Structure 1
Amino acid sequence: MARRSHFLTLFVALFSIGLVIALVSNPQTSFQAALRGLNIWWEVVFPATLPFIVLSEILMGFGVVHFVGVLLEPLMRPLFNVPGTGGFILTMGFASGYPVTAKLTTSLRESGNITRAEGERLVSFVTTGDPLFVIGAVAVGFFHNEQLGFILAATHYVSALLLGIMYRFHAPRDLSTKPISKNKLPLLLRALQAMHRARLNDGRAFGRLMGDAVHSALQTLLMIGGFLIVFSVILQLLSTLNITQFLSAVITVLLSPFDLPPQFAKALISGIFEVTLGAQATSEVPGQVSLMWKAAIASAVISWGGLSVHAQVASILANTDIRVAPYLLARFIHAIMAAIMTLIFWGPLTRMTEGIAASKPVFQVYDQPRMLHAWSDSLSHNGLTATLIFIVLIIISLLLYRQASRPTR
């Protein structure tokens, strides 16, 4: 173990020294890559993510998480082996995208609402791309095909839910939170009582709660921006040093049995590091390649998320005892599942979406130079998505609760 630790230290040191040398040797290339990462953060990530982090912090302070936890306990516990509060993370994660779920899971763990194993299960399957990115940026912006967006979204989110059911068996011997005790009060009233108690226990005035939420959101987003810039520079330097070309050649050999063009190797290499670049490279594969294979690769790239996102998640989870290894394994499994589902259900999903007419592209938010437009668009699209997901989860949970409450004969 000690010898491997020494080798790891030596490898990281040599890799860091090599990056510094490459950075100094290619200042203009590094500057342009950093500027590109900064633009993505400022024009896309910052306005699209800040409202959700701030609002989620406020909702947690007001006890809404406990309200949702009581309502969704009949659904989340048997399906995913996490407490009902995980339904709040599921809703916000599916609506707002990759890094938000890690932040919310960390908050739940720090407050003692979930155990380590439950946090690992939760962050492993709720870390997904947001619908605005999957349908707008990838399908409409890169592939110019809105119909494809619904196919990608279906395979992406359904495979995430299947992954959650699979991960319910993760760490079965570890501690779990106690199920919410039942009493004679109606479910909704018990949820309101839980929210009121949580609000009293928090005790912060609205002004302080708002200030803490904005401060926490800005800290998280600054960290995310730093990772975006660093990985943008690293990916560009690896391309300049022809390292990505070497890796592409290796992946080309692995893809040869499937009779896929070498351009897919470039897309996979880009997607390993950064999800947006990987999806864009997939859309640029020559037109003679079947759209089904392009969609499968794009679905895998979106579900993987990229090392840039993983580094952000690992940095956020470092504040708790939640391990990153289960999360990384889940991302790999999710990518494989999403790609396979796209290939298997391509025909039925295509026929289902044939009647969907092309509408105004929602990708325009990713091309907006003004933060105010991106802010309002992200709130309207993602807020509607979160509301719809929450309503569906509440209906299913109430049905399950009603079924479980019926007296046995």
Structure 2
Amino acid sequence: MRQTNTVLHSQLRSVGFGIVALFLVLSMILYPEQAFNSSLKGLKVWWDVVFPALLPFFIASEILMGFGVVHFLGVLLEPLMRPLFRVPGAGGFVMAMGLASGYPIGAKLTARLREQKLISRTEGERLVSFTNTADPLFMFGAVAVGFFHDVGLGVAIAIAHYVSSFLLGLLMRFHEPAGPVTPPPEKESGFFLWRALKAMHKARLEDGRSLGQLMGDAITSSLNSLMLVGGFIIMFSVIIDVLGEVGITGLLATMISGLFHWIQFPAELASSVISGMFEITLGAQIASQAPPTVEMAYKIAIVGAITAWSGFSVHAQVASLLSKTDIRYTPYFVARVIHGFLAGWVTLILWKPISQYILTSDAAVPAFLRQIPDSGWIGFAEQLPWIGWKMAVVAFILAGTGILLHTFAAIRMKHFS
């Protein structure tokens, strides 16, 4: 009986997927001009923004992994990452790169760690859930400056996003508590920095590739990943516009409006939620265009929730990147829902103190945040140091925390031994 139900369920899923695919194809046939324009719009976003922003960091991350930097950080950050998030110290590398360069590099690096057997399946599901985050350039540049024309609002969005991401990481440590665990690094005598350097040297020797071969492989792998990302962006750009043409988006917005009215939330923001379900940039833009009667706190809360959810476009990219491993997509999906709710509520809770600070003091927003680099190839040279410094700051903070923990543990052992 159970096997019959499983077969029936599988058949129903196949029929459902077939109906959805047929509906989308027919819709694009009925609205060919809108589909063409949407694909051009998605292509422009990918070529002008995503490609130049992500390519250097995709390549750099592959080279750093080949040189064994991940193993260096793994030894250094073991006392931080494992107690807090129940993932190996190598997850600190994914966290630093994810916080600096945004979607979907957290998923790509998590998959690479799993391929190298540096993390277990369960640890990979925990890690990707809270490290695949939005980047500061998007929150400050695209949303705060581009849509709301106030860089100070980026502070509120970023604080809520990263605080909720940290809380999500703490929650995900309880995911599959009996799941397989990657053994911690072998405890060896000697200074911990020397042990970390030895682990990096050993990993580089085991990799065995020359610098030229490593760079070639990194570029090839990065281009393949970005072509995949570009395809998803273009496809979901078409899907969003086609659904709008056939009235599906309007119907869903009406349903969300009723729910918002019931929970006493501004119904004018319903359309931004529907658009944000598919693509975060479009959802954030629509939220910024809500009537002035809607309080700014609610607008920023919706933007925060949409950014944390990340949209089906990013979900599809993550699912594709994880499909090369045994890491399951379902825990990531659940984590995105939780992150969205957390980011929205954290924004509302912290809005009053944060808004008083950022709206009454020019010193609240550092000067370098007032000069956001341009998107696209024109501002490419400016983007590299801007994002690179953010990545370096995060990495140094994590490394410094790891050094302090190692030093404290050594002093405690020496004192009580």
TM-score with structure 2 length normalisation?
0.95
Q: Are the counterparts in 2 of residues 47 and 374 from structure 1 also a CA contact under 8 Å? A: no
1:379 counterpart letter in structure 2: L
TM-score with structure 1 length normalisation?
0.96
Alpha-carbon displacement from aligned partner over 1:221-264 (angstroms, at most 9, x marks no partner) = 00000000000000000000000000000000000034444331
Tell me, in whole angstroms, the C-alpha distance in 2 between the residues paired with 1:177 and 1:355.
47
Alpha-carbon displacement from aligned partner over 1:120-176 (angstroms, at most 9, x marks no partner) = 000000011000001111111111111110111011011101111111111111111
Q: Percent identity?
A: 48
Q: Are the counterparts in 2 of residues 124 and 164 from structure 1 also a CA contact under 8 Å? A: yes
Match of 1:355 in 2: 361
Tell me, in whole angstroms, the C-alpha distance in 2 between the residues paired with 1:169 and 1:260.
32
Match of 1:365 in 2: 374
Say which is worse superposed, 32-41 or 99-108, in terms of deviation.
Answer: 99-108
- For the pair 1:233 / 2:238, whether they are aligned, the reply is yes
Q: Are the counterparts in 1 of residues 266 and 298 from structure 2 also a CA contact under 8 Å? A: no
Supply the RMSD in Å over aligned alpha carbons.
1.3
Match of 1:383 in 2: 388
Match of 1:174 among 154, 172, 179: 179
Match of 1:132 among 122, 137, 143: 137
Q: Are the counterparts in 1 of residues 275 and 283 from structure 2 also a CA contact under 8 Å? A: yes
Match of 1:64 among 32, 50, 69: 69
Q: 3-state DSSP class of the match of 1:345?
A: helix
Match of 1:150 in 2: 155
- For the pair 1:205 / 2:207, whether they are aligned, the reply is no
Tell me, in whole angstroms, the C-alpha distance in 1 between the residues paired with 2:200 and 2:227.
31
Say which is worse superposed, 385-394 or 305-314, in terms of deviation.
Answer: 385-394
Q: Are the counterparts in 1 of residues 68 and 199 from structure 2 also a CA contact under 8 Å? A: yes
1:395: how far off? 1.5
2:193 counterpart letter in structure 1: L
Tell me, in whole angstroms, the C-alpha distance in 1 between the residues paired with 2:61 and 2:202.
18
Tell me, in whole angstroms, the C-alpha distance in 2 between the residues paired with 1:113 and 1:166.
22
Q: Are the counterparts in 1 of residues 74 and 92 from structure 2 also a CA contact under 8 Å? A: yes
Match of 1:122 among 119, 127, 143: 127
Match of 1:183 in 2: 188
Written as runs of structure 1 = structure 2, the 5 A alignment for 1:158-307 is 158-307=163-312
Match of 2:44 in 1: 39
> Could you say if the C-alpha distance between residues 394 and 146 of structure 1 is closer, same or farther in structure 2, counting changes exceeding 3 Å?
same
Tell me, in whole angstroms, the C-alpha distance in 1 between the residues paired with 2:344 and 2:266.
17
Aligned residue pairs, count: 405
Tell me, in whole angstroms, the C-alpha distance in 2 between the residues paired with 1:166 and 1:21.
42
1:375: how far off? 2.5
2:361 counterpart letter in structure 1: G
Tell me, in whole angstroms, the C-alpha distance in 2 between the residues paired with 1:242 and 1:363.
37
1:53 counterpart letter in structure 2: F
2:127 counterpart letter in structure 1: L
List gaps (5 residues or longer) in structure 2. 1-5
Alpha-carbon displacement from aligned partner over 1:12-56 (angstroms, at most 9, x marks no partner) = 111111111111111110000000000000000000000000000
1:72 counterpart letter in structure 2: L
